Each structure stands twice: as C-alpha cells, then as structure tokens.
Amino acid sequence: MPCRDYESDSYSSPTDSWQYRDLKLKERADMLARIACKAMTELENNKIEDLLLLRDDEVREWWAKHKEADRKAREKEQRKQERIRLRRAALRKLSEEEKIALGLKKSKDQDIEEDVTQDLLAVADKILKRKAKEEWQI
C-alpha cells in the first residue's frame, strides 16, 4: 500500500528555517497520531481491533507503544495534579506571616522596595542615555 502523508511535501520551502519545518512536521505527526489513536480506540470499543492488529505488525507494534505512552502521560499528569492539590492544601494552613517567612509570598515592604528600585533604575537609565547622547553630539 503506497500510503504516506502527501501534505508534508509542502513543508519544504527553501526560505523556511529547519526549526519551522521540524515544527510543522511535528504538528502533522501529532495530528496523524491522534487520528490513528481515535480510529484504534473506536475499533477496540467495538471489539473489532483484531481485524487490523492480527494482520499488521507495524500497526500492532505502534498501537502497543502508543497505549503505553498514553498511560504513562496520564499517570504523570495525575501525579502533577495531586502535587498541586497537596501544595494548595498545605498553603491554606499557613498564615500570611508564615508564607512571607518561608519566602512563598512577598511582604508589602518587599513590593515597595522593588517599586523604588525599578524607579531608580529607570532614572539611572534616562541619565545614562542623556549622557551618551551628549557625548556623541560633541
């Protein structure tokens, strides 16, 4: 069967950077994987996946690897969400002063200090630009 992705031929323009071409090809590969995954999932849901899996080694190997990768990705996302939930629960137990002491939150003094620092940096920048301008005009 001569099946291939004919659209990927259009991603090779001499003016495109290799990063752009790689990004476009990755997007295309991801889309095609999603389509194949949806099709295989539907076949499994209807208990007819064996029609394809028993006849095609390439599909069978891809599907097994893909399902395992999906399972690991779901587990990783679940662990991440659990850490977020635990962190939020722990932070709710702390007072504002405790959060500041642990460096988890800025104090009002730190905010004011940062604002003053930014203002001083802006003034210094203007002075330096004016001095540089004066020197170059001489």
Would you tell me how many other CB atoms lie within 10 Å of the CB of residue 63? Answer: 20
pLDDT at residue 128 is higher than 90? no
User: CB within 8 A of 24, min separation 6: which ones?
Assistant: 8, 11
pTM score:
0.57
**Cβ contact 104:90 at 8 Å:** no
Residue written as token pair 């104090």? 107
Higher pLDDT, 104 or 94: 94
Total count of residues recorded for the chain:
138
Can you give the pLDDT at residue 1? Answer: 47
- Domains of the chain by residue range: 1-77, 105-138
Would you tell me how many other CB atoms lie within 10 Å of the CB of residue 130? Answer: 10
Higher pLDDT, 41 or 99: 41
Tens digits of residue pLDDT in 47-82: 999 988 888 999 999 999 999 999 999 999 999 999
User: CB within 8 A of 40, min separation 6: which ones?
Assistant: 49, 52, 59, 63, 66
pLDDT-based confidence at 4, cuts 50/70/90? low
